[in-house]
């Protein structure tokens, strides 16, 4: 009788421990679901942040007539194909449904390397107050991105005239730009796959079988 009682107690304790484990697992699952929902909400909010902030910054009648432009860079240039098209279409649909700014289908596209470098040069020199001055008064830029590296700087008219011609379909070495009453000859070059993340991926590929002293064994990120 006593042995049976001990067995019953042990069985109750075992079931109790199983129940506790199940409750802990359920709690962990609920926490994971809640975290996933919060992450989804943050993602949705971040996607709408740029458009809502832009609208709030220009609260006026002209805001609805202000066009919004989205230019994808090296990540989508390298991705290419159907995957990049789906991403661009998703952004177009978001702008159309969520943004109060004027959105157009051709306002969302993939920038080529020359455009990306040129826009970066314009942005930096605008912020520094250099636009409208001579090309010697501007600064050059080097941008180490995730998928590519851009280099851009203004050169003289004489130097621009000596730039080599490139085959059709390739980005020109030199672009002409008119900004604040001044004409600039801008040397721009983009090095696709030389960005920080792209370079890391290539290093991991090259050392996949031999290992890498700078990276923990088994790491593939």
Residues annotated within a binding site for ATP: 146-150
Cα–Cα distances in angstroms (integers) from residue 180 to residues 90, 175, 191, in the given order: 35, 16, 29
**Please, which residues have CB within 8 angstroms of residue 209's CB and are 6 or more apart in sequence?**
none
Using a 10 angstrom Cβ sphere, with 0-12 exposed, 13-18 middle and 19 or more buried, the burial of residue 198 is buried
- Quick one: DSSP state of residue 94? H
| Strand partners of residue 182 | 179
Of 117, 169, 124, give the one whose Cα is nearest residue 143. 117
Q: Among the options 82, 116, 176, 202, which is catalytic? A: 116
* 102 Cβ neighbours under 8 A, 6+ residues apart: 64, 65, 66, 67, 68
Residues contributing to the annotated binding site: 146-150
Does the annotation mark 82 as catalytic?
no
- Return the sign of the alpha-carbon dihedral for residues 52, 53, 58, 60: positive
Beta strands in 128-215, from DSSP E residues, in sequence order: 141-144, 148-155, 174-179, 182-192
Please tell me the distance from the alpha carbon of residue 3 to that of residue 94, in angstroms, as a whole number: 69
Catalytic positions: 116
């Amino acid at each position: 009788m006593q042995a049976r009682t001990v067995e019953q107690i042990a069985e109750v304790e075992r079931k109790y421990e199983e129940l506790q484990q199940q409750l802990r697992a359920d709690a962990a699952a609920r926490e994971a679901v809640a975290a996933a929902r919060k992450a989804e909400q943050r993602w949705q909010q971040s996607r709408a942040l740029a458009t809502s902030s832009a609208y709030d910054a220009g609260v006026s009648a002209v805001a609805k007539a202000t066009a919004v432009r989205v230019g994808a860079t090296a990540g989508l240039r390298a991705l290419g194909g159907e995957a990049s098209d789906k991403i661009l279409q998703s952004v177009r649909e978001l702008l159309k449904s969520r943004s109060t700014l004027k959105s157009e289908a051709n306002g969302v596209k993939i920038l080529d390397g020359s455009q990306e470098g040129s826009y970066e040069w314009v942005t930096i020199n605008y912020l520094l107050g250099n636009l409208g001055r001579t090309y010697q008064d501007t600064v050059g830029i080097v941008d180490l991105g995730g998928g590519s590296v851009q280099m851009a700087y203004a050169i003289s008219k004489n130097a621009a005239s000596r730039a080599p011609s490139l085959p059709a379909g390739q980005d020109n070495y030199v672009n002409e730009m008119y900004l604040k009453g001044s004409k600039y000859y801008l040397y721009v070059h983009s090095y696709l796959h030389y960005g920080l993340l792209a370079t890391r991926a290539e290093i991991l590929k090259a050392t996949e079988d031999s290992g890498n002293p700078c990276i923990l064994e088994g790491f593939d990120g």
